[in-house]
Structure 1
Amino acid sequence: MTLSDIERHYGFTYPPLYKQLEHDGMLNVGEYGPAWYQQVYPTLKDRPTLLLHADDFELLSVTAVAQALDELADPDDYRQIDPALRFIPFAQTGAGDHYCFFASGQQDADLPVVLLWHDQEEAQHLARNLADFLFLMLLQSMADQDTYNEVSDEEFREQLEKTMGTHARYLTARQAEVLQALLARDIIDYDVALPKGRTEAHRGLLTDMELASLRAELIAYDKYDDCFAYGAAG
């Protein structure tokens, strides 16, 4: 099955950038399974496919996309998604939430990207289009070193540099310039403010406040972080 098969069968047109990513081999992550990390990941890590090193992001194969589309459209699916809302999954989190193109929200050439929560009956706006989503995810990757899994400073920086090596061509000149400047920084520790006066320790090349500022400057989206109900009775 190919992207063209998905388009024909489900009456949907992928963004040109996504088709370019497919043409360039950036979507070729193989089929996930028990041995994927040991057998497939080593063949990809030096020339990362789409957001390979991003936190909590698993690109779906075309076969998995078709399966997810059928599940979302199933009237007996537990999510009970409103048939008037069209979501086209292309990736998922470890918890099973889906990153989707929101076909019902298309504005001219812009096809928004949303996160479809599987247990909250809501979808969350992330970006105006795929290009902006890509830049947002790269910013977030630079802001958040995976200290939970004890990723070293050297490995963190190496992953980012290799990611830029395969992703820079899909960015605007200004976006690529900003990310390259961030890569030249020293890694810092910073605190993220949480409700009720709490804080959470983070480590990366920029703070959450800097990330928010760059997002507003370079990929402004008035619906960013807004959520909406997707249930048929919502």
Structure 2
Amino acid sequence: MTPQDIEKKYGFEFPLLYKQLEAEGMLNVGEYGPNWSSEVYPKLKENPPLLLHSYDFELLTLEGVNEEIKQLRDPEDYRQIRKEFKFIPFAQSYGGDHYCFFLNEEKNGEMPIVFLSHDAVEADYLAKNLQDFIFKMFLTDMAYFDNEDVSDQELKNNLESMFRTHKKYLTHQQQDILQNILNREIIDYEISFSYGNEEAKGLLTDDEKNILLNEIIPFDKMGTSFEYSDEE
């Protein structure tokens, strides 16, 4: 299956960047199955496809994209998505929520990325387009080194490998920022919440990450959400 097959079937067009990523092998994650982690992942690790090492992100194959679109548009689907909303999922969280292109707000071939939660029946705006979303995911991964199964150094190595295969898809400004952060040492810091502080570690702080997001990829809807279903 190709992106063009899906476009023809459902009557829309993917962003040009997504089709470029597909043409250049960046959407090739192999076939998911019980042996994917042990047999497929090691072969992809050194030349990561789209956001392979990002936290809570699992890229859908094109066959998976086709199946998930069909599921989301099924009148019998438990989420009961309003007919006026057109979501095109391209990845999912480990809990089964979806990262989607939001077709309703397409402009000049670009469309926002939203996170479709199946528990809260809400869609959260993440970035105004796919390029900015990739940059945002990098910054987020760089700010939170919280995988207990992988050493801090391996997490940094994974980010460096991912940056090498992804940088051509980012702006020069985005590339420079990420490269400078990758040159840093890992730091310990605290994140302030209403209930108190939590310890964290990464290559930049949560506050610095948020400042960079607002400065480099401003989007007035980032961090806002809307209900996509009338179901409670």
TM-score by length of 2: 0.97
Q: How many residues align?
A: 232
Could you give the per-residue CA deviations for residues 152-171 of structure 1, whole angstroms, max 9, x where no partner exists? 12212211111111001001
* Greater CA drift, 155-164 or 43-52: 155-164
- Aligned equivalents of 2:147, 2:32: Cα separation in 1: 24
Alignment TM-score, normalising by the size of structure 1: 0.96
- The 5 A counterparts of 1:1-234 are 1-149=1-149, 151-196=150-195, 198-232=196-230
C-alpha displacement of 1:232: 4.5
Contact 1:83 1:232 in 2 (8 A): no
**Aligned partners of 1:147 and 1:49: how far apart in 2?**
20
Contact kept? 1:139, 1:179, Cα under 8 Å = yes
SS at 2:80 equivalent: coil
Residue type of the alignment partner of 1:219: I
The CA deviation string for residues 114-173 of structure 1, in whole angstroms up to 9 with x for no partner, is 000011111000000001001000111111113432x21221221111111100100111
* Distance apart, 1:100 and its partner CA: 0.1
Is residue 188–residue 204 contact of structure 1 (8 Å, CA) maintained in 2? Answer: yes
Distance 2:8 2:126 in 1: 26
CA RMSD, aligned part only? 1.2
Q: Which runs of 5+ in 1 are unaligned?
A: none
Hey, what's the Cα distance between the residues in 2 that align with 1:6 and 1:229? 26
Question: 1:82–1:233: 8 Å Cα contact kept in structure 2?
Answer: no
Q: Runs of 4 or more off by more than 6 Å in structure 1? A: none
Instruction: State the one-letter code of the partner of 2:112.
Output: P
Gaps (5+ residues) in structure 2?
A: none
Which is worse superposed, 187-196 or 87-96? Answer: 187-196
Distance 2:206 2:22 in 1: 31
Distance in 2 (alpha carbons) for counterparts of 1:65 and 1:167: 21
